[in-house]
Structure formats: C-alpha cells, structure tokens
Amino acid sequence: MIYPGIETALEENMSESKRRPLYYVVFVVTKYKSFEEAKAKAPEQIAAHIARSRELHQNGTLLMSGAFLNNPEEPLSTMAVLGSREAAEEYIHGDPFYINGMISKWYVREWANMFA
C-alpha cells in the first residue's frame, strides 16, 4: 500500500460519486512554465500542497486533483474536484500556491455528473 487510507477513501468517494449530480472543479494557472520549474523554484510549497491535498482527499473533501501535463505553449495548470462550492473556495484559499502569490489565475466551475 503506497498511501495508507487512500484506498478506503477512494472507495467511499467512488460510491458517493455515483449519487452526486454536481461537482465543483477548481482550475488553477500557476506562474510557472512547467512542473520542473515549479519543483526547482518552490519545492517547499509543492510539498505542502501535496501533503494538504492528501489530507483533504483522505477525509473525503478533495475527490481528485492533479496537474495537466506540460505544454510548452501554456503555463503549469492544475485542477481539483470537490463536492461543494464552499469546499472549492476553501481549497483554493488555503492552498500554499495561492497563499504565496504563485497563481496567475484561478476559477471554479460547476461540473455535472452524467452517471448520477
């Protein structure tokens, strides 16, 4: 087991996802050109971001999250899926990248679950 508790949280989140008709997706555009640049310039913020995201995922608040693959034409961008607008707002406002001014743009969009 790589991350203790994640399998249980994932199973619970998957069961919940079959019933939930609406999610809130946080889209983030960072001030970095790539993940490699972010790792080189902000390793402490990345570690804090990952630790916080794991904790939120384990408690069921953060359903999924990740970075989009590097695209040389665009800055490093990420997304996170949460169950409420309030959780999405709390997620972004508590993120180390947001707190430290490392985000150039972010927004929240509602996303419909076609399997609900």
Q: Structural domains in the chain?
A: 21-111 (3.30.70.1060)
Q: Is the pLDDT of residue 46 over 90?
A: yes
Does the structure show a pLDDT above 50 at 3? Answer: no
User: Residue range 5-12: average pLDDT?
Assistant: 51
43 CA to centre of own chain: 17
- 108 bridge partner residues: 26
CA trace torsion 37, 73, 29, 42 (10° rounding): 0
- Residue 61 DSSP symbol: S
Work out the mean pLDDT of the chain and round it to a whole number. Answer: 88
Residue 63 has pLDDT above 60, yes or no: yes
Sequence-ordered alpha helix ranges (H) in the chain: 6-17, 35-41, 43-58, 85-93, 96-99
